[in-house]
């Protein structure tokens, strides 16, 4: 990537993430009236809260870059997946998607998946550089879904 693009890449990914999420919520109709959608959304929320129980807000960064004095968290849900906050977002947004599935919401969901994948890839590069034990951690965990992906 070019220097200017690399500088703004984290902010661009976050903007795309929140734009797609916002549009999905805006376009959703009947989310609160769909039991399965609410259950899936609450599962995603639970995953996110579990991750926050083990990763302090001071260590947490919405942008795919490391904070100063970042710590590698490997407890709780992080013992199974490396990016539980992304799993949380995807699960919640999937709940919204299935409540009122439309072609444009499916496109937004796909864009969100791609964006979160790109964020995770960038973070992985930074974490490998910052933590000597990250490669071992990668070998025993998955990206987003325990024991699967």
Looking at residue 49, what is its pLDDT? 95
Q: What does pLDDT average to in each consecutive run of 10 residues of the chain (149 residues)?
A: 72 96 88 85 96 84 85 93 96 93 93 96 93 93 80
Torsion of CA 43, 26, 8, 69, to 10 degrees: -30
Which of 80, 83, 77 is CA-nearest to residue 126?
83
- Strands (DSSP E) contained in the chain are none
DSSP 60-87: --SSSSPPTT-----SGGGGTBS-HHHH
Q: What are phi and psi of 81, to 5 degrees?
A: -135, 150
Tokens 């979160």 belong to which residue? 116
Looking at residue 3, what is its pLDDT? 58
Looking at residue 66, what is its pLDDT? 85
Task: Report the C-alpha gap between 134 and 149 in whole angstroms.
Answer: 17
Looking at residue 74, what is its pLDDT? 93
* Paired residues of 81 in beta bridges: 142
Tokens 């807000």 belong to which residue? 57
pTM: 0.90
């Amino acid at each position: 990537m070019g220097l200017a693009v690399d500088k703004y890449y984290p902010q661009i990914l976050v903007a795309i993430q929140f734009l797609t999420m916002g549009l999905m919520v805006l376009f959703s109709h009947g989310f609160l009236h769909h039991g399965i959608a609410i259950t899936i959304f609450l599962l995603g929320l639970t995953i996110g809260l579990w991750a926050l129980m083990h990763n302090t807000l001071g260590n947490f960064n919405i942008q795919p870059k490391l904070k100063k004095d970042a710590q590698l968290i490997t407890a709780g849900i992080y013992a199974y997946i490396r990016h539980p906050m992304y799993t949380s977002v995807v699960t919640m947004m999937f709940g919204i998607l299935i409540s009122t599935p439309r072609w444009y919401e499916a496109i937004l969901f796909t864009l969100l998946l791609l964006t979160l994948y790109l964020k995770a890839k960038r973070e992985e590069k930074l974490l490998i550089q910052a933590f000597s034990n990250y490669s071992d951690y990668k070998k025993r965990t998955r990206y987003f879904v325990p024991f699967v992906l």
